[in-house]
Structure 1
Amino acid sequence: MLRGMATVSYYADDLEAAKNWYAEFLGVEPYYHVPNGYYEFRIGDYQHELGIINRAYAPQGARNAPGGGGVLLWHVDDLPATFQRLLDLGATEYEPITPRGNDGGFATAAVVDPFGNILGIMSNPHYLEVLGKTGGV
């Protein structure tokens, strides 16, 4: 059974540029580093792991193009502002802000980061409900 997001890994040809871009966007430096191979950030309410990996270590057959069917979505408090900030930092729109469902409050968007990875963001009232039950803010 899936119990929650643990780590998401993105690949980049230019590891240092990707580290710098994500550090700028996230407002934190990576807490872990393997020289020329990997950077890891801890982010969000549950300190989820975001790894940036040198594309040389990508699984055999991994595609360099965005996509592949799945998009991990991160809850954000201000979807329009976060989406715009990503675009301002050089990401490109993959999916515009799109309302989901008919009960209000759910919306998603996604960008392609400058390194070819899809970064999904969303406004998710259920996430906030769960966070409130766990004592988070």
Structure 2
Amino acid sequence: MLRGMATTTYFADDLEAAKDWYAEFLGVQPYFHVPNGYYEFRIGDYQHELGLINRAYAPAGARNEPGAGGIVNWHVDDLEATFARLLELGAKEYEPITERGQGTGFVTAAVLDPFGNIIGIMSNPHYLDVLGRTGGV
């Protein structure tokens, strides 16, 4: 049974450029580093882990194209501003801002980062409800 997101990893041909781009977007530096192989950031209310892996270590048969895997949606407080910031930093629209269910408050969007990875963002009332019940802000 899935219990919640633990780590999301993205592959990058240019690991240093990916680290710099994500550090700029996230506003934090990675807290963990394996030389020429991996960077990891801790982000968000629950300090979820976002890892960047040198594409040389991708699983055999992994494809280097958009949409070759699932989309992890990260809850954000201001979807439109976050989407705009990602585009400003060079990401490309993958999925426009889309309301999911009329009037439910679930809204998603996705971009391709400059390294070919999909970043999903979302306004998610359920996330906020869980956060409130666990004492988060």
Q: TM-score, normalised by structure 1?
A: 0.98
Please identify runs of 4+ aligned residues in structure 1 that moved more than 4 A. Answer: none
- The one-character-per-residue Cα deviations of 1:24-52 (angstroms, maximum 9, x if unpaired) are 00000000000000000000010000000
1:100 match = 100
1:72 match = 72
Identical aligned pairs, as a percentage? 81
The farther-off stretch of 101-110 and 117-126 is 101-110
Residue type at the aligned position of 1:73:
N
Name the SS of the counterpart of 1:59 in structure 2. coil
Give, in whole Å, the separation in 2 of the partners of 1:86 and 1:126: 24
Stretches of structure 1 lacking an aligned partner (at least 5 in a row): none
Deviation at residue 69 of structure 1 after TM alignment: 4.7
1:33 match = 33
Name the SS of the counterpart of 2:21 in structure 1. helix
Name the SS of the counterpart of 1:132 in structure 2. helix
Give, in whole Å, the separation in 2 of the partners of 1:69 and 1:7: 15
1:35-54 mapped onto 2 (5 Å cutoff): 35-54=35-54
Structure 2 CA distance for partners of 1:99 and 1:41, relative to 1, 3 Å: same
Give, in whole Å, the separation in 2 of the partners of 1:70 and 1:104: 23
Residue type at the aligned position of 1:17:
A
Give the paired residue count.
Answer: 137
1:121-132 mapped onto 2 (5 Å cutoff): 121-132=121-132
Deviation at residue 103 of structure 1 after TM alignment: 3.8
1:62 match = 62
Give, in whole Å, the separation in 2 of the partners of 1:57 and 1:118: 18
Deviation at residue 104 of structure 1 after TM alignment: 2.5
Give, in whole Å, the separation in 1 of the partners of 2:48 and 2:86: 19
The farther-off stretch of 121-130 and 99-108 is 99-108
